[in-house]
Amino acid sequence: MNATGEALFRLSQGNVMRLKVDQLRQVVRHANSPKLSLRAVARLSGVSPNTVRALRDHLSSIGEDWESLRTLDDSAFEARLNYGQETSGRRRSIPNLAQVHDELRKRDITLSLLWEEFRNDDPESASYTQFTRQYRTWLKKQKISMRQIHKPGDKLFVDFCGRTIPIIDRETGEETKAHVFVGALGASGYLCATAVANQTVANWLHCHVIALENLGGVPRYVVPDNLKAAVLKNGRDSIQLNSAYQEFAEHYGFGILPARPRKPKDKSLAEIGVQIVQRWVLARLRSHKFFALDELNQQISYWMTQLNERITRTYPKSRLARFQELDVPALKSLPNDRYAFSLWRYQVRVESDYHIEHQGHRYSLPYQYTSLLVDIRATSENLIVSYRRRQIASHQLVIGPGITTLPEHQPAQHKHYQDCQPEALLAWAESIGPATLTYARRNLEERKDFANGMKAVIALRRDTRNEQLHERVESACAYALKLKILGYERLRSILRNGTDQHPEIPPQAPAMEHENLRGAAYYSVQAGDIA
């Protein structure tokens, strides 16, 4: 690392260490892209450009990048970065910003030139990054408006229309409201729109999928408003994005650049796009009756095509022509796989019995995480639980009430107790064979002394496992049942002596009947005569 980079690192390291780990991840992800400037990464991540510069230099010095860090859990992520202690630096002097602004009004004068001149007069003055940040902060306070210039393929502005469209149920006549999502590309002004049933996270992401597939590519940034499906918190010093939206952005490879609260100019193109769609498309549909979302979306698609192909007096080229000329070559390719929606729940407290509840069903976690806060991600098939971004449990998703407990999640004493319950004993006996199952069931269900019956089955299972008697148990149980034996001591004797394997003695044949054979009746008559 050169001397300048090292100084910047020492100056901004304290800011890096005070970042939340999720925000630090975003800085690393965006800083890893060589196409993004320091200021661009700073805006995307809600940190200072100095912090971004220091982190980029530090990643380079330790040989790490986003690909090597993205799969780590929070603790390993922080440890791999291996920051030292915060050091302080003296505050650098800056020029009179009003004079800087006046100088910039002159032809061919740039901030870079003014900084170099100021630096020549005071070599210990503010760096170029500090100089430009201070000037832009001052400029925002002057209420001076500046027209935004958007680069091709750079930004997609997204928002929902304020106006809704009624959908009528054919059978009941009940009316629901469809919400219309609008996306507008910054460079060409190309518009896309789709209707959904509500503004949930799932539908918000579904609208993005439709929009990106309509564009046939991915912009560098998406600029949403601060609805909860996108942004959980947009504070002065940090931005907390919805994790599902953040995961979606990582899948498609774009940056999320939320509009600042109460700053309508940040999302002016989205508001203009919404206004155009409402006036040019939705207004034309005001007298139509729609009975399904698909019907509404077919009409919206038709009129959006007309709108994008329309040539106005303001623009000699249509939005579609400008889109194909400017944005299409600059858009990134879509990923091979469509995003699979995940339903996220954050900071869920693990219950005292090391289970969590999701949609009426309860799932176990490793008992060490009892009472901690975890994040839940539910897909169409699985439920995945993470602690500080490290996966700690995975279950097959179950619809409906009930409980799923994995043995490896239980402490030893709980595992032993559950293993000795009647259901577990019968399941083991069934795995051996029908005679063993019958022996176990009769001990557990027919004996008046239930405790001794359960002990008999537990003892049988224990000895079977310890002495590897699996091949002998079924035959011995069948022999014991034949003799109506339920106690384990006698069954144990059969197992030891192999009684069930001895050949049976055939029963004696009945005596033959013959006229010379005298029976008991004959002798009883003879005795009577003598008397």
Encode 72-101 in three state secondary structure.
CCHHHHHHHHCCCCCCCCCCCCCCCHHHHH
Q: What is the pLDDT of residue 87?
A: 39
CATH code where residue 235 lies: 3.30.420.10
Q: Tell me the H-state helices in 285-324.
A: 293-309, 319-322
Q: Which residues of the chain have pLDDT under 70?
A: 1-18, 82-94, 102, 105-108, 141-149, 233-238, 260-267, 313-315, 412-420, 502-531
Q: Do 247 and 359 fall into the same domain?
A: no
Residue for token pair 């999640």:
409
Write out the two tokens for 160: 């929902």
Does 120 map to a domain?
yes
Q: What is the pLDDT of residue 88?
A: 42
Q: Do 225 and 312 fall into the same domain?
A: yes
> Are 256 and 242 contacting, i.e. CB atoms less than 8 angstroms apart?
no
Does 519 map to a domain?
no
Write out the two tokens for 306: 């007309």
Does 149 map to a domain?
no
Please name which of 331, 312, 332 lies closest in space to residue 323, comparing C-alpha atoms: 331
CA-to-CA distance for 137 and 374, rounded, in angstroms?
A: 38
- C-alpha distances in Å from residue 176, one per residue of 164, 172, 197, 459: 9, 11, 8, 64
Please name which of 421, 411, 410 lies closest in space to residue 458, comparing C-alpha atoms: 421
Q: Do 168 and 291 fall into the same domain?
A: yes
Q: Do 348 and 326 fall into the same domain?
A: no
Q: What is the pLDDT of residue 320?
A: 93
pLDDT tens figures, 27-71:
888 888 877 888 888 888 888 888 888 888 888 878 788 888 888
Q: What is the pLDDT of residue 5?
A: 38
Q: What is the pLDDT of residue 294?
A: 93
Q: Do 212 and 316 fall into the same domain?
A: yes
Residue for token pair 């008992």:
367
Write out the two tokens for 179: 């919400």
Q: Beta partners for 304?
A: none
Q: Tell me the H-state helices in 433-497.
A: 434-445, 450-467, 470-482, 488-497
Q: Do 58 and 129 fall into the same domain?
A: no
Q: Do 115 and 67 fall into the same domain?
A: no
Q: Beta partners for 390?
A: 387
pTM of the model: 0.51
The DSSP secondary-structure symbol of 151 reads P
Q: Do 203 and 269 fall into the same domain?
A: yes
CA-to-CA distance for 382 and 366, rounded, in angstroms?
A: 17
Does 530 map to a domain?
no
> Are 191 and 308 contacting, i.e. CB atoms less than 8 angstroms apart?
yes
Q: What is the pLDDT of residue 520?
A: 65
Q: Do 167 and 115 fall into the same domain?
A: no
Q: Do 213 and 268 fall into the same domain?
A: yes
- C-alpha distances in Å from residue 509, one per residue of 6, 145, 512: 107, 118, 9
Residue for token pair 């500046």:
146
Number of domains composing the chain: 5
CA-to-CA distance for 231 and 205, rounded, in angstroms?
A: 13
Kindly give the pairing relationship between strand 361-364 and strand 402-404.
parallel
Write out the two tokens for 353: 């019995």
Q: What is the pLDDT of residue 158?
A: 92
CA-to-CA distance for 348 and 526, rounded, in angstroms?
A: 98
Domain extent for 391: 343-410
